[in-house]
Amino acid sequence: MTLAGNSIYPLNGYGNQKANPSKAPFNPNNIIIVTDGLCTSTCAIFAELMKMQSVRSIAFGGRPQNGPMQAIGGVKGSKALEFPDFANELKDLYGNLTKNGNLYLTKEQQDRWNEVIPGHLNKFSYQVQSGSVNQLNAFSPENDELPLQFVYEAAACRRFLTFDNVVSQITSWSSAIDAMFNNGGCVPGSTNATATLYA
């Protein structure tokens, strides 16, 4: 990694790059995260790291009622596992538990295993195109007991989607700039909301 880290492609902590720069390259007051709440997994990790650096977020959409909205509406886990991969992991686990004739499961446990373990998507009783499960929880430095996906975190501001926002993405950016930098206003009751349940 030391050889890969250079001034063109810096890797903090390698080469001549400090592990923890003393000065942030950008002022967090000049950055906003714009979301419609459809953010999960890697997006959620990135948004949480930005929030820890005091970057604000604005959420567009939600139910047609005043009040706050979460910027991150998906699972805030650190690793998602797609359904086919999940089924393969379980198949491998079962194989390890029963290989070489060494049964680590009783007959009753094997029967129960086969009863509850999900099969392939085309064997579901309803049509499923895709899906995933959280494989690894993420935690906030302020609370290392409650996984982030169970913590309500309101965006700093919320705006309703307009027809223009739906047909032209640039209008959403303009609306976000107006709200966050030009005192353009947010949905009533969406600002100064408690950011988390344990804050």
Would you state the pLDDT for residue 145? 92
CB 76 within 8 A of CB 40: yes
* More confident call, 20 vs 49: 49
Task: For residue 79, give the 3-state DSSP assignment.
Answer: strand
Q: Which helix (H) or strand (E) holds 80?
A: strand 79-82
At position 199, the amino acid (one-letter code) is A
Q: Which helix (H) or strand (E) holds 172?
A: helix 169-181
CB 42 within 8 A of CB 74: no
At position 179, the amino acid (one-letter code) is A
> What Å distances lie between residue 33 and 19, 149, 188, 196, CA to CA?
25, 19, 20, 18
Classify burial at 20, counting beta carbons within 10 Å of its beta carbon; exposed 0-12, middle 13-18, buried 19 or more.
exposed
CB 146 within 8 A of CB 139: yes
Condensed to tens digits (0 to 9), the pLDDT of residues 90-136 reads: 788 877 877 766 667 778 887 887 787 766 666 666 776 777 788 88
pLDDT of residue 36 exceeding 90, the answer is yes
The tokens for 104 are 């680590």
Q: How far apart are the first and last CA of the chain?
A: 38
* More confident call, 79 vs 14: 79
Would you state the pLDDT for residue 96? 80
DSSP state of 134: E
How large is the average pLDDT for residues 14-21?
71
pTM of the model: 0.70
| pLDDT band at 162; cut points 50, 70, 90 | very high
